[in-house]
A and B are shown apart, each in its own frame.
Chain A
Amino acid sequence: MKAMIRNSAYLSLIYLFFYIPIIVLIVYSFNNTTFSLVWHGFTWKWYVDLFSDSDLWIATWHSFFLGIASATGATFLGMLTAVSLYRYRFAGRNFLNGLIFILILSPEIVTGAALLILFTFFHLPLGFLSLLLAHICFCIPFVIVTTYSRLISFDKNIFEAAKDLGASDFIIMLRIILPLLSPALFASWLLSFTLSLDDVIISYFVSGPEFQILPLQIFSMVRSGIKPEINALCSVLFCVTVTLVVLAQLALRKKT
């Protein structure tokens, strides 16, 4: 009993550490004063300011569009890779495995710098396309890990049966793997979207002035100083990503 109380106390302490800053942020986004600790009454003012800031709207639209495009690209490519690794034996399979392993681990800043050099090397202007390619790059490993761990829970006999009955690999993919994998793909897509929406480091390297995105906008607002709008913006974005993460986790948990 004593151990249980001690354990729960410890858990609560860590959870408080995780969540108090966020709760404070959200509460103060309704505080009727520029950033001060004293409560000056409830206001929607910062949210109104936020929604009338046209630069932010453009950046938001850009970020959502980028997130949707890169999540879709990453889910497609990641799924192909995971399925190939699962079903086929091919030359360089171990090498590919190792490469993915390194991609998961490589510090974002190195990836960002490497992609910046790559895009400059190919004379690709920095903007939407460079961001899209970069975001697909860093989302792919997460898609592979999520879908692969789902694939290994399947019964391999299903594929043998389909093959015996004359299905080609493409039909197997379309009619068997895709439906079975759909919860994992849905989760991967949502998580990739979240990652894309939140990424600062890699985007910082490969973005151009014509295509402003939300995380970088937040970064420059945070650095340039106190503007209570940031609290409102961060609260909104935090709630959006939490919703997506919870949805993704529900999709992954279903039927496992």
Chain B
Amino acid sequence: MKTDNHFKSFSLSIIWVWMFLFALLPFCLVIIASFMSHNENSLITLPATLTNYQHLNNSIYIRIFEKSFVIAGISTLLCLIIGYPFAYIIARMQSRWKSFLLLLVIIPFWTSSLIRSYALIAIIKAKGILNSILIALGIIDQPLAILFTNYAVLIGLIYNLLPFMILPIMTNVERLDQRLIDAARDLGANRFTTFRKIIIPLTMPGIIAGSILVFLPAMTIFYIPDILGGAKSIMLGNLIQNQFLISQNWPMGSAFSAVLTLILVTLILVHVWVTRGNKKREWL
């Protein structure tokens, strides 16, 4: 038995060393850096201070935080509204095309969202396809100015993050027990009641997982506002990227990151609280 454990200790030591160095330590360093100062000579230096967090109380930052929340929230909600029926239909489908249709959702999940955001420009720009079609159909007579506005950012976020909403919900709907739905219908529940009281609660873990997977990136994918948005479309991601790579104020950037992580932890706790009792937590 003793000789067996060489392999075990070998694997475990590699894993722990790696996880300590590249998972635990970096996040601790962010927290530490957020309490430090900076000056012209060094990016991060003593004395320890709370000023970075006090600076967060600045009205410009608060407005960016609020806007990021609102835009990320709206895109999460829209992804849910658009994605839920989609996931539901595909998950309950009994067709030989099902695996192909699933693959068509997985492809956008894995391919570069930078490229896909760029592709959107041709659709929504002033002389783009969307405007041409709408004008040809006589719905509008002036091209809509979508590109370089917050609407473009919203469309870009939904376009990129919809698969992240669809896939977790789909996993949940597939596990749904048809007998429960039949039972509810037998006992006289109409379609709406069945949906509200049976289907929604049972797929709640998927809804929460999908919402987290959409909401967090929505606030932080800095290149979408960068490419599609205008000068005013700064979101949390742009702010953090700016502090680190342009203003070179790392402690301040760390403070933003720490606040963002705090939001993340809160969301995870909500998720754990909702799925408590479910032993298996599957994500993708």
Select the stretch in A40-48, A54-62, A168-176 that faces chain B.
A168-176
Contact with A along B112-130 (1 / 0, CB 8 A): 1111101110110001110
Select the stretch in B49-57, B83-91, B174-182, B193-201 that faces chain A.
B83-91
A237 at the interface (CB under 8 A from B): yes
B30, A117: Cβ atoms under 8 Å?
Answer: yes
| Interface pairs (9), CB distance under 8 Å | A10-B89, A84-B11, A92-B16, A109-B260, A110-B30, A115-B26, A117-B29, A198-B110, A198-B112
Q: How far is the CA of A113 from the CA of B241 in the complex (A)?
A: 8
Add 13 more A-B contacts to A14-B86, A133-B22, A245-B106 (CB < 8 A). Answer: A11-B101, A18-B162, A19-B104, A83-B11, A109-B260, A114-B26, A114-B30, A168-B6, A198-B110, A200-B114, A222-B227, A238-B112, A245-B107
* CB contact under 8 A between A105 and B216, given known A96-B15, A118-B25, A198-B111: yes
A180 at the interface (CB under 8 A from B): no
Total interface residues on B, CB under 8 Å, equals 84
Interface of A is mostly: helix
Q: What chain A residues lie within 8 Å of B222 (beta carbons)?
A: 109, 201
A103 at the interface (CB under 8 A from B): yes
Q: What chain A residues lie within 8 Å of B127 (beta carbons)?
A: 36-37
B141 at the interface (CB under 8 A from A): no
B283 interface neighbour in A35, A104, A191, A234, Cβ under 8 Å = A104
Q: How far is the CA of A223 from the CA of B44 in the complex (A)?
A: 30
Minimum C-beta distance from B35 to chain A (A): 13
Q: What chain A residues lie within 8 Å of B110 (beta carbons)?
A: 191, 194-195, 198, 241, 245
A117, B44: Cβ atoms under 8 Å?
Answer: yes
Q: What chain B residues lie within 8 Å of A37 (beta carbons)?
A: 122, 127-129, 132
* CB contact under 8 A between A215 and B112, given known A7-B89, A24-B122, A109-B240: yes
Q: Which residue of B lies closest to A197 (CB)?
A: B112
B104, A18: Cβ atoms under 8 Å?
Answer: yes
A21 interface neighbour in B104, B159, B217, Cβ under 8 Å = B159
A109, B129: Cβ atoms under 8 Å?
Answer: no
B274 at the interface (CB under 8 A from A): no
A145 at the interface (CB under 8 A from B): yes
B12, A245: Cβ atoms under 8 Å?
Answer: no
Total interface residues on A, CB under 8 Å, equals 80
Contact with A along B242-284 (1 / 0, CB 8 A): 0011000010011001001100100010000000000001111
The 6 lowest CB-CB distance pairs between A and B, nearest first, are A114-B26, A198-B112, A21-B119, A169-B7, A25-B119, A170-B7
Q: How far is the CA of A230 from the CA of B119 in the complex (A)?
A: 10
A218 at the interface (CB under 8 A from B): yes
Q: What chain A residues lie within 8 Å of B119 (beta carbons)?
A: 21-22, 24-25, 234
Minimum C-beta distance from A186 to chain B (A): 15
Q: How far is the CA of A240 from the CA of B115 in the complex (A)?
A: 12
Q: Which residue of A lies closest to B92 (CB)?
A: A7
Q: How far is the CA of A96 from the CA of B94 in the complex (A)?
A: 39
Q: What chain B residues lie within 8 Å of A188 (beta carbons)?
A: none
A50 at the interface (CB under 8 A from B): no
Q: What chain B residues lie within 8 Å of A145 (beta carbons)?
A: 283-284
Q: What chain B residues lie within 8 Å of A173 (beta carbons)?
A: 7
Q: How far is the CA of A35 from the CA of B122 in the complex (A)?
A: 9
Q: How far is the CA of A81 from the CA of B212 in the complex (A)?
A: 25
* CB contact under 8 A between A109 and B237, given known A117-B33, A215-B114: yes
